[in-house]
């Protein structure tokens, strides 16, 4: 299945970033690279049997809004461990410690993060650690 999103991986464990255009997926991948993550795919992600791969025509390409499209080192694949939703922020009044969620189609842990937050990359790294146990 092909998903509109971006994917980064650390030590082979993939994080699928989903959200509408302009929600910060590519920018968050760029920030995750400074925390030891590898680019897997940007804009579209091929997912089969829990493995994320870039579509061949987009492999190694990352759009940096306002600068253009750049060719970067990338991981050819990663086993998905976490889905990060950048579209829907938790409404006011939501408990500070939300109940665990799972992505319906992929049956993976799902967290919701504001991509614009200064701590977004660190939150993704912590959520990945939690998903991996």
For 60-106, the pLDDT digits (tens) are 999 999 999 999 999 999 999 999 999 766 666 666 777 788 998 99
Nearest to 54 by CA among 86, 9, 120, 114: 9
pLDDT, the chain, mean:
93
Whether this prediction's pTM lies above 0.95 is answered by no
pLDDT in tens, 23-51: 999 999 999 999 999 999 999 999 999 99
Residue 54 pLDDT: 98
Residue 99 pLDDT: 76
Residue 97 pLDDT: 73
How far apart CA 105 and CA 5 sit, in angstroms, is 14
Residue 89 pLDDT: 62
pLDDT in tens, 9-19: 999 999 999 99
Whether the Cβ atoms of residue 15 and residue 7 lie closer than 8 Å to each other: yes
Nearest to 30 by CA among 82, 86, 90, 70: 70
């Amino acid at each position: 299945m092909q998903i509109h999103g971006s994917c980064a991986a650390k030590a082979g464990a993939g994080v699928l970033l989903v959200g509408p255009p302009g929600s910060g997926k590519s920018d968050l991948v760029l920030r995750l690279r400074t925390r030891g993550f590898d680019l897997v795919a940007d804009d579209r992600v091929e997912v089969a049997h829990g493995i994320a791969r870039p579509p061949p025509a987009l492999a190694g390409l990352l759009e940096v809004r306002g600068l253009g499209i750049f060719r970067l080192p990338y991981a050819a694949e990663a086993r998905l461990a976490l889905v990060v939703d950048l579209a829907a922020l938790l409404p006011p009044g939501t408990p500070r410690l939300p109940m665990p969620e799972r992505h319906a189609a992929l049956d993976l842990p799902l967290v919701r993060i504001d991509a614009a937050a200064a701590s977004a990359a660190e939150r993704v790294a912590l959520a990945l650690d939690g998903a991996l146990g």
